[in-house]
Amino acid sequence: MTDQLSSQQLDAIEDVLVSGIQDFLSQTGFSQCHLGLSGGLDSALVAYLAVRAVGKENVACFILPTRFTSQRSLDDAVECANNLGCRYEMISIEPLFTCFLETLEPVFEGRPFDTAEENLQSRIRGTLLMAFANKFHSMLLSTGNKSELTMGYCTLYGDMNGGLAPIGNLFKTEVFALCRRINEKTNIIPESILTKPPSAELRPHQTDQDSLPPYDVLDAVLEQYFSRCHLREENMPEKIAKALGLETELTDKIVQTVTAMEFKRRQAPPVVL
């Protein structure tokens, strides 16, 4: 569990991630990389690791807001980029989002706003980030973590775009722990990013916990699942629930979701760890 990771272990994880980025870019012939910087924890961590790996002069961050992006997130993203000393560009994707909505209006007529419109925003961002990758021979780093990817809380051809997912094998609770450890040494990640509720900001007042269990609960279940799945145990959700003192209904839903989201994971970028 992440609350059992020592400072030395977290430092070792950080060093492995940095080395992994360096090795991957070297092997694939890239000297620079870029990412979408949302003002959230995952992208802040990836930006920090990228700067450590290849230097601030070789990292570009893109802040790509829509109507749902809070001012707090914009401020946090800018502060993070400034703290890191790397280049950042702020490009509103609202005109493109509006154009997509207007184009699809005859087809979507009468249907409520849902994940279709939410994912459009992510896919617009992914397209712009890949355009930069092609134009400037820059490696796009995906910023998703293992908790999100395992549960399918990510968008194909959107935030899953990229050549490498540096933190794709870190649970969200591990991301929090690593960022807190980094700030003990550098204080480089804005404190606001560490304390605000995680959100994709694809609809009004959205938080991750609208769709996912609290991360400490989710990650505990996922950790149990991955330690058991190779054993092909019967009644696994019941056994996980008993081990953690949770309701079987919750663990069963999580396990079912993990199984159903396999098609997404098969299309995800490679991870470091």
Rounded to an integer, what distance in angstroms lies between the CA atom of residue 81 and that of residue 190? 10
198-248 pLDDT tens trace: 999 999 989 999 889 999 999 999 999 999 876 677 789 999 999 999 999
Amino acid letter for position 122: S
Rounded to an integer, what distance in angstroms lies between the CA atom of residue 36 and that of residue 165? 12
Q: Where are the domains of the chain?
A: 2-208
Distances, alpha carbon 100 to alpha carbons 116, 157, 222, 234, in Å: 11, 16, 36, 46
178-201 pLDDT tens trace: 999 999 999 999 999 999 999 999
Average of pLDDT values for 138-165? 97
pTM attached to this predicted model? 0.96
> Residue 167 pLDDT more than 60?
yes
CATH number, domain 2-208: 3.40.50.620
> Residue 4 pLDDT more than 90?
no
pLDDT score at 1 = 54
Rounded to an integer, what distance in angstroms lies between the CA atom of residue 239 and that of residue 223? 13
Q: What is the mean pLDDT of the chain?
A: 95
pLDDT score at 234 = 76
- Interacting residues of 180 by C-beta distance below 8 A, sequence separation 6+: 194
